[in-house]
Structure 1
Amino acid sequence: MSKDPMRGGRLGDERPPEVWNYLSSKDADAFIGESDILVDIGHLLMLRRQGIIDAGSSRAIMDVLLHLYKDGIPKIVYDPKFEDVHAGIEAYIIERTGADKGGRLHMGRSRNDEVATCVRISLRKEILEILTGISGLREELIRLSGENLESFMPGFTHLQYAQPTTLAHYFMNYEQALGRDFERFGDTFLRVDLCPLGAAAFASTGYPIDREYTAGLLGFSGVLENSMDCVAGRDFCIETISACAILMTTLSRMCEELIIWSSSFAGFVNLDDAYCSTSSIMPQKKNPDCAEIMRGKAGSVAGELSASVALIKGLPMSYNRDMQDLWMHLWRAVFDTKSSVKIMTGLLKTARFNTEKMEEDAGKGFSTATELADVMVRNYGLPFRTAHGIVGRSVRLGKLDIDTLEEASLEMTGISLKDKGMDEKAVNDALDVGFSVNERSATGGPAPEAVRKSIEKRDYALKEDIEWTKLQKQRIDKSLKEMIKQAEELIS
């Protein structure tokens, strides 16, 4: 196969092997090879429609492109002797059609707008897959919530027993957070789904191109207008990586809890064997390795974000070769995020939560003390800070019963709780886990009825999000199918 077609004029072909490998983007190009074929097909259809390329050349080139589209891209295209997959494909086309025909494909564009378009095509597909994954995880969390409306458990602050809640309330906390992750990726998708093709190197082109036509063929919702921003802007990549980092941070927090909960001293959950590993020396071990790896990958994705911002921040307009190094940061972040969402969904779906142990621990550590203080305020007229102090002093004395509370109250305020009508039954009722949870029935609270309403609301929003994602996929697929149909008609 011929050498890089871009080096025959201004530059010589001789280079040390380490330079070829150093400059090659073949690792990142594996993510955009198929998208490059789509871009070539769309660009060629536009060139022919505008009369920029003759019928014979367009038929010859399109025949090769459709072969690559249907049968796949050969490995030779990714050879390091080509600086990138774009040069490799062009060389492949020229090899099969001749320079007089194949050398005409690149009219009216540059590698700069070509690669930006390829990345956006591949990236929007990945984002839609992430959105689908997020929806699947949210669906699982809603299912688990519906099954655990009255599964009491301890809630924590500072990793200390704080107040009782329910497993349903806990799951809906993450569903709501993941809903925001969906919104972030959805907003990012809208900015990714704009076509930069036709910007050329950065100053557009003198050929009579039709950018809107090409954008429509490739399934974009519109054209990215300013030609310099088309090739120099990389905020859409940084925004995507940022959304990945935020989502991975959410997943990492869940992993941290599942790791703690699965420990023998907590015993709140038993993770399925498929998501765990054992020790090479300790036969009794069952380690939550998937959760630990995911927690680690959250740090890696955060690192991809930091590296990407540092890479772009000092670059002048418009195109600079440094940008090539951004791609692997982008694809690593996207791949790790997409796979993590899928694994977390499976991990939760197969996990077995020990709700009996959770309920047993729900009242530990004086976790219902807040409700006791609230009862003293609501039923016996004490100021909250006074009630807070009395209950806190009783905890310090080691008991929450009427006699200890009476002692603390007299010592601190001179007020007799017994004279106000408070007795042991009132104290015990206030300290009951179920009573404490059910009292918290305000919007978003852990009371079963409040969580049930939240589930209904969030499930409706989830269905809307699933439908929106489906419509975006259908719109893009329809455009690409129509483009391939026009390409086939061109050569027939």
Structure 2
Amino acid sequence: MRQDQIREGRLSGERNDQIARYLSSMEADRKIAHADLLVDMAHLAMLSDQKLIGEEQAGMIARSLLKMKRNGIPEEAFDERFEDIHAGIEGELIADAGIEAGGRLHMARSRNDEVATCLRVRSRQDILKIAGSLSVLRSILIRSAEEHIGTVMPGFTHLQHAQPTTLAHHLLAYEEAFSRDSERLLDAYRRVNRSPLGSAAFASTGFPIDRRMTADLLGFDDILGNSMDAVSARDFALEILSALTIMMTNVSRLCEELILWSSAFVRFVELDDAYCSTSSIMPQKKNPDCAEIMRGHAGSVAGAFQAVAVSVKGLPMSYNRDLQTLTPHLWRGIEDAAASIDILAGMIGTAAFNTERMREESDRGFSTATELADTLVREFGLPFRTAHNIVGRAVRSGEITTATLEEAGREMGGISLAERGLSAERIQQALDPDTVIDTREVAGGPGKGVMQEAILRRRDALKESEMMITTHIHALQRAEEDLMTVLRRLAGE
């Protein structure tokens, strides 16, 4: 059985299984195993280019690394007797290529800069995946909004009927929120995509390495300038989780509405059966379980952010082993967020909205009263506060009629609305939800013309975001292709 080659010099004796398990990061390291191979390859290419390793030895290492890339990393590399995947892969490399060749790859680097680089390589992929999923979700929301420009529904404040709006207006509100989530992630990507490799333990190295070369081969936009900061900084993890926490807060708000809307009290939406469960005892139940789980994951992602923040807040420069404990929280936050966005897109895309029920509720609770007050201002010359109080008094009486408005007007200072020409027909017109919507042609409102323009703008914004994601993905793909070309040349293929 292979031993951890890193312990053989300074330390003696064997660890028991409990200690090995306690120190090992193998479970979390499975996420960065492929990234570690890429980092090894880039480091090897640079060592060869700088003449720090001979051609024959470089070829042996390259062939071993390519074998693991093509056939998969041997499971033995994940054994917990190795503290991490970096040691595990090195152990496999030495076993395959021999210590004379394999033992040279770790020259001019440390596991400190190695793991920091691997975390960034993997995290940037996750950022682009989630941003891509957000694009799918946003596209579905925009398409659904276009279908429901004329679908009148009640809008709410304090969970009370407030004013009529449209389903399109409501859906685009979430699309804009998710667009900002995408912006935050892609902005974070710029800071994630900087290379720590070559910083070694924290004080760089005395070997004449080329950090720019490894950064380019790994698709990084730049290097991190200070080697001490490079190996110990985990603010990129905090930034990712912060953006995901905000995103999941928006997800949770939408899920809360879907849960309410699908209830027998509201009946605004019917969720597809695939996203629901039933009761083990109550045969009539259709529970919105996916939306509820997402609401819960908003808490787990926020918890991951908090756990990472607490892990790093008291650490002195430079590297400390505490940093190992934050990695599982990073992966947990990313996994929960990524899965939630994919499922939410499907749930919205298959939802059946009850437009008749929405219209039925659109003027309940005197929700059109604001438009009547605005009408009294626009057409009858009243100050808004006076109009507001007159309509409010009519609502307090239990109905809005010419009589109740006339009485309220006289109570508010002897104002006769009848004498000013207010008719029952004009009152009913002002209280019609369609009239309310038609008057909201101000930018950002639910009026049909405004919404059509908004949909065009949102499509343009989505296209711009998708182009940025595609640009990043292609850049990483080209870098990996270039890296494989170099490795195949070193391997003599």
Q: Confirm or deny a common fold (TM above 0.5).
A: yes
Give the alignment of 1:339-354 within 5 angstroms. Answer: 339-354=339-354
Per the TM alignment, residue 46 of structure 1 is displaced from its structure 2 partner at its CA by 0.4
Number of the residue aligned with 2:68? 68
The corresponding residue for 1:234 is 234
Query: How far is 1:13 from its partner?
Result: 3.7
Task: Give secondary structure in 1 for the equivalent of 2:394.
Answer: helix
* TM-score, scaled to structure 2: 0.99
Between the aligned partners of 2:402 and 2:150, the Cα distance in structure 1 is 28
Separation in 1 of the partners of 2:14 and 2:479?
43
Instruction: Give the Cα–Cα distance (whole angstroms) in 1 for the partners of residues 373 and 309 of structure 2.
Output: 49
**Structure 2 counterpart of 1:289:** 289
How far does residue 421 in structure 1 lie from its aligned partner after superposition?
Answer: 0.8
**Which whole-Å deviations, capped at 9, do the CAs of 1:303-352 have from their partners, x for residues lacking one?**
11111111111000010000001101111111111111100000011100
What corresponds to 1:316 in structure 2? 316
Give the paired residue count.
492
In structure 1, the residue matched to 2:17 is 17
Give the distance between the partners of 2:413 and 2:446, measured in 1 at CA.
Answer: 33
Does residue 2 (structure 1) correspond to residue 8 (structure 2)? The answer is: no
Amino acid of the structure 2 residue aligned with 1:235: D
Correspondence 1:16-415 to 2 at 5 A: 16-415=16-415
Pair 1:457-2:462 in alignment: no
> Which range moves more in the overlay, 266-275 or 414-423?
414-423
Give unmatched runs, 5+ long, in structure 2: none
- Which segments of structure 1 move beyond 6 Å, counting only runs of 4 or more? none
Distance 2:16 2:297 in 1: 36
Cα distance in 1 for residues equivalent to 2:400 and 2:23: 71
The answer for unaligned runs of 5 or more in structure 1 is none
| Structure 1 residue 491, shift from structure 2 partner | 1.2
**Cα distance between partner residues in 2 of 1:3 and 1:184:** 44
Rounded Cα–Cα distance in structure 2 between residues aligned with 1:386 and 1:238:
51
Kindly state the Cα deviation for residue 98 of structure 1 after the two structures are TM-superposed.
1.7
The offset of 1:435, in angstroms, is: 0.3
Provide, for residues 243-298 of structure 1, a one-character-per-residue CA deviation record: whole Å limited to 9, x for no partner.
11000000000000000000011000000000000000001100000000000000
1:407 CA drift (Å) = 0.8
Instruction: Measure the CA separation in 2 of the matches of 1:250 and 1:13.
Output: 52
State, as a whole percentage, how many aligned pairs show the same letter: 52
Residues in 2 aligned to 1:293 and 1:413: alpha-carbon distance in whole angstroms: 56
Q: How far, CA to CA, are the matches of 2:96 and 2:30 in structure 1?
A: 22
Helix, strand or coil: the match of 1:201? Answer: coil
Distance 2:227 2:449 in 1: 55
Give 3-state SS (helix, strand or coil) of 2:305's partner: helix
> Counterpart of 2:263 in 1: which secondary structure?
coil
Q: 2:468 & 2:182 partners in 1: Cα distance?
A: 11
Give the residue type in structure 2 aligned to 1:7: R
Equivalent residues of 1:188, 1:240 under 8 A apart:
yes
Counterpart contact for 1:113–1:231, Cα < 8 Å: yes
Q: Under a length normalisation based on structure 1, what TM-score does the superposition of the two structures give?
A: 0.99
- 1:154 is paired with a residue whose SS is strand
| Secondary structure of the corresponding residue to residue 420 of structure 2 | coil
Question: Which AA in structure 1 matches 2:197?
Answer: L
5 Å-filtered alignment, 1:469-484, equals 469-484=469-484
Alpha-carbon offset, residue 57 of structure 1: 1.3
Partner of 2:441: 441
| SS of residue paired to 2:176 | helix
Residue 50 of structure 1 deviates from its aligned partner by: 0.2
Secondary structure of the corresponding residue to residue 443 of structure 1:
coil
Q: Are the aligned partners of 1:7 and 1:13 in contact in 2 as well (CA < 8 Å)?
A: no
Deviation at 1:73, TM superposition (A): 1.0
Structure 2: how far apart are the matches of 1:310 and 1:400? 57
Q: Letter of the 2:365 partner, please give it.
A: G
Task: Quote the Cα distance in structure 2 between the aligned partners of 1:181 and 1:100.
Answer: 50
The whole-number CA distance in structure 1 between the counterparts of 2:433 and 2:392 is: 18
Counterpart amino acid of residue 450 in structure 1? V
Structural RMSD (CA):
0.7
